[in-house]
Structure 1
Amino acid sequence: MTSLHNSISSLQQDAAFDLAFRLRQPVPVKPKACVLLLHGVGGSEMNLADLAASMDPDTLVVLPRGPLEFASGQFGWFRVTFSASGPRIVAAEAEQSRQALIRFVGQLQTAYGIAPQNTLIAGFSQGGILSASVALSAPERVAGFAVLSGRILPELEPHLAKKAQLAHLRSFIAHGEYDSKLPVMWAQRSDQWLSNLGVAHAIHLYPIAHEISATMQADFLAWVSAQTPIETSIRLRYRALRSGVPQGTPITVLHIGANQTTIAAGTGEEPAATLQLAIGAEKTAADFFKHHPPTPAELENAIMAVEDEVTRARTLIANDSILVTTDAAIREIALIAGVPDQAELSLSLDVMERTFERLAQVTLGRPASSEGMPASAAFAATLLILREFMHHLQFSSITVKA
């Protein structure tokens, strides 16, 4: 068995779910998002295994199997025949699959604790058709959808949600200009229909037939990455901080938020990698600091948990990368550490370690005011996260920009 197939689970057939499915492995413990990939007619869920394997490791990637079996190993969502006048579908089967998928998406969200705003549905050919059908009829279930060499069924019109309910959706339409199975006019019709519905979308046409090319796959993966709000935010920070840094120089952008810490790393105009860590300032304080100030034991427990999470970033960061942030909370740490206040300042690891030692003294009973430290638990958590990040990822300093 190939390494690609090793990255996909065995078929899951569970009475709690309307459809059989496979998962991209390893399955994230706390998925930040969910992407469903639907195969085309006459194929199987394994057809999109390479696409699944290419996605962000923090994303739950689900490969459902179509409910209809046409032959051994050949599945679909509805029967269809092709004639000179165009495709003719068994509308009742398409409707049954649409309803089953809507239920299935909800079942996944409940089982894995994923919100609709972090859920995308996409598919190839007939799978793309069903992706559009689900999103446009049940927009409360997903944040967006992608149609790869597919179309939007005219038969869907009676089931469309109201225009106002569709306003949050984002869509990706990709099609081959030489597609003889579903001619490119179907993509053009989808483009017009989505415009009329007020659905934000991008349309990409390629000099290919009825297939997924490497360029189409790359464009789709980039679109998926850009849909997560936190992902979009860290990418914008990266682009802004990249300005003025020579091409080829590696930088790592750090943002310690309330509920998660996000990083973006790369050497070009766009980050080569992004990652979300479950160690935000307020979350860490709430999880570990039951006393104010925290006790030495609480501080040590927090250090161990943060260290475990920070080490996930090791493989993403170049050894000579520059660490940069715009976080006001990190600027506050630098100023408390005695760094002169200016638009761009640098906080060294040594100075930051001495500041963390002042926090440790507070946990041992010294008044926070005597150490010049804020009494805020979130401040303590931010300092702890920064210290573990710089120490374990071997950054000698962090540049703080206004």
Structure 2
Amino acid sequence: MAGMDTHPTALLDTVEQETGAAPAWSVLWLHGLGADGHDFAPIVPELVRPDWPALRFVFPHAPVRAVTINNGVRMRAWYDIVGMDFATRADSDGIEESIVQVQSLIDRELARGMAPERLLLAGFSQGGAIALSAALRRSQPLAGVIALSTYLPGMELAAQKLADQATRQPVFMAHGSGDPVIPMVHAQRSAQALQAMGFAVQWHAYPMGHQVCAEEIAALADWMSGLFAL
């Protein structure tokens, strides 16, 4: 892989990998609770196919904050988790802050010459929750959204924040049927809510826990190949 480095941004530090010179697409990938930008960097060689255009993967580090559900221990998190009830557990102020920070990273890619229709927003678990939440607000649609082992926080109010043109962004969602962290029913309900808003959602379920698997990576690569061919 060419060009792996760590870059400071105005708001967040990132880990970057480029699969070739002059990347034609960018993938902004958000990690899960307690991880960092290095967590999904190893997925690049497993995911990327030889016939793809050159890609720039950007893996930001979430801010360090106290997480209530983990006894207030400070760790990298996109928002606080305040309880067990999925309807109210996500800290809405933290989500809003993270959406702004993600927007700044998207703006940096646009400033580098990347068109929004060549930018994918991806996330795992908490990162996926931010990716979905941010996608709803985008009046300038991205190429697509990847949401792994996650759900859409505040589903009841999400449609009220839906921006014009946002539903032009296709969504890839995948989840483990045995996920003990985010039970699959919450992901399924989120997928249904997104579909009801008008998003084209490709849904996959796998016999696994809160993780990714080879079959999931292959399905994601198929989906991405379809976008690159458009």
**Shared fold (TM-score, shorter chain, > 0.5):** yes
TM-score, structure 1 length as denominator? 0.50
Equivalent position to 1:66, from 53, 62, 67: 62
Which residue is equivalent to 1:261?
none
Which has the higher relative contact order, 1 or 2, with Cα contacts under 8 A spaced 6 or more apart? 2
Which SS does the other structure have where 2:6 is aligned? coil
Q: Matches of 1:178 and 1:8 in 2, distance apart?
A: 37
| 1:80 and 2:75 matched | no
Structure with the larger helix share: 1
Which SS does the other structure have where 2:120 is aligned? strand
Which SS does the other structure have where 1:182 is aligned? coil
Q: How does 1:126-275 map to 2 (within 5 A)?
A: 126-154=126-154, 157=158, 158-162=160-164, 165-228=165-228, 231-232=229-230
**Which amino acid is 1:221 matched to?**
A
8 Å Cα contact 2:141/2:169 also seen in 1: no
Which SS does the other structure have where 1:218 is aligned? helix
Question: Are the structure 2 counterparts of residues 178 and 8 from structure 1 closer, same or farther at C-alpha, using a change threshold of 3 Å?
Answer: farther
Deviations 1:331-354 (A, max 9, x none): xxxxxxxxxxxxxxxxxxxxxxxx
8 Å Cα contact 1:136/1:161 also seen in 2: yes
Which SS does the other structure have where 1:80 is aligned? coil
Shift of 1:30: 2.0
Equivalent position to 1:11, from 2, 6, 14: 6
Higher mean alpha-carbon deviation, 89-98 vs 60-69, is at: 60-69
Question: Are the structure 2 counterparts of residues 225 and 96 from structure 1 closer, same or farther at C-alpha, using a change threshold of 3 Å?
Answer: same
Q: How does 1:320-339 map to 2 (within 5 A)?
A: none
Which residue is equivalent to 1:31?
23
Question: Are the structure 2 counterparts of residues 115 and 92 from structure 1 closer, same or farther at C-alpha, using a change threshold of 3 Å?
Answer: same
Deviations 1:278-337 (A, max 9, x none): xxxxxxxxxxxxxxxxxxxxxxxxxxxxxxxxxxxxxxxxxxxxxxxxxxxxxxxxxxxx
Q: Matches of 2:139 and 2:33 in 1, distance apart?
A: 24
Shift of 1:61: 1.0
Which residue is equivalent to 1:96?
97
Larger radius of gyration: 1
Which residue is equivalent to 2:110?
109
**Which amino acid is 2:64 matched to?**
L
Question: Are the structure 2 counterparts of residues 67 and 159 from structure 1 closer, same or farther at C-alpha, using a change threshold of 3 Å?
Answer: farther
Deviations 1:99-146 (A, max 9, x none): 1111210111212x1101111101110111111111111141512101
TM-score, structure 2 length as denominator? 0.85
In the alignment, structure 1 segments of 5+ residues that lack a partner are 1-5, 233-402
Q: Matches of 2:83 and 2:146 in 1, distance apart?
A: 23
**Which amino acid is 1:98 matched to?**
I
Which residue is equivalent to 1:46?
38
**Which amino acid is 1:46 matched to?**
H
8 Å Cα contact 1:106/1:141 also seen in 2: no
8 Å Cα contact 1:40/1:125 also seen in 2: yes
Q: Matches of 1:68 and 1:134 in 2, distance apart?
A: 20
Shift of 1:204: 0.4
**Which amino acid is 1:20 matched to?**
D
Q: Matches of 2:209 and 2:26 in 1, distance apart?
A: 29
Which residue is equivalent to 2:70?
none
Which residue is equivalent to 1:118?
118
8 Å Cα contact 1:36/1:62 also seen in 2: yes
Percentage of identical aligned residues: 28
8 Å Cα contact 1:44/1:73 also seen in 2: no
8 Å Cα contact 2:62/2:77 also seen in 1: yes
Which SS does the other structure have where 1:24 is aligned? strand
Shift of 1:73: 10
Q: Matches of 2:135 and 2:162 in 1, distance apart?
A: 9
Higher mean alpha-carbon deviation, 69-78 vs 48-57, is at: 69-78
Question: Are the structure 2 counterparts of residues 221 and 70 from structure 1 closer, same or farther at C-alpha, using a change threshold of 3 Å?
Answer: farther
Instruction: Report how many aligned residue pairs link the two structures.
Output: 218
Q: Matches of 1:8 and 1:94 in 2, distance apart?
A: 31
Q: Matches of 1:149 and 1:79 in 2, distance apart?
A: 18
Question: Are the structure 2 counterparts of residues 103 and 77 from structure 1 closer, same or farther at C-alpha, using a change threshold of 3 Å?
Answer: same
8 Å Cα contact 1:8/1:49 also seen in 2: no
Shift of 1:215: 1.1
8 Å Cα contact 1:68/1:78 also seen in 2: no
Which residue is equivalent to 1:294?
none
Which SS does the other structure have where 1:46 is aligned? coil
